[in-house]
Amino acid sequence: MISSILDIGRTEGAQFEQTVNLDLVEYIKKKTNDYRMLSAQKNIIITFFSNVNHLNTSIQVTLFNQILQNFVQNAIKFTPNGKTIKIKLKKIDDKVILNVIDEGIGIDENIDVFAPFKKVGKENGVGLGLYLAKIASDALNAKISIKNREDGKNGAIAKL
């Protein structure tokens, strides 16, 4: 819990971080490979898709990473062994949309999962991850949401 509370301070401090120019597609590819080590423990396959080959942008990397990491870690935590997680990056006109789609238990959409100390299910954690992701998305002037899949499959879609 202490570590999570310290993360709040780091996330708030990261709001003042300088932006960095990077290729967001390459960055997410690299992070996806890193997450595969975590997902391998549950035999979960993580894939990354993008509708563009490159997306050069200027972004506060610490804030973006806070969101991506939380989305993926939650997807791994709540997805049963042997299932899949998809990370999708889509550029449409001047909008960039990141989705992390899992095959987990889904969420109770009546609960504000972005509130501090809000826990869902019986999994470990203190309930600060999505709160931190919300702080980070606000600092990036981005919208964040989580909803259940509507394609007839179990799971959730975390969207930035």
**pLDDT tens for residues 140-153?**
999 999 999 998 88
Instruction: Count other C-beta atoms under 10 Å from residue 73's C-beta.
Output: 16
Are 63 and 11 a contacting pair, CB within 8 Å? yes
- What mean pLDDT, rounded, does the chain reach? 87
- Tell me the two tokens of residue 51: 């509708």
Identify the CA nearest to 70 among candidates 23, 112, 38, 105.
Answer: 38
pLDDT band per the 50, 70, 90 thresholds, residue 18:
confident
Segment 106-133 shows an average pLDDT of: 78
Percent pLDDT > 90 in the chain is 63
Could you tell me the pTM of the whole model?
0.86
Find all residues with CB under 8 Å of 153, minimum gap 6, and list them: 103
pLDDT reading at 101 higher than 60 = yes
Residue (of 93, 71, 79, 37) closest to 158 by Cα position? 71
Closest CA to 54 of 80, 92, 26, 35: 26
pLDDT above 80 for 126: no
| CA 115 to the chain's CA centroid | 16
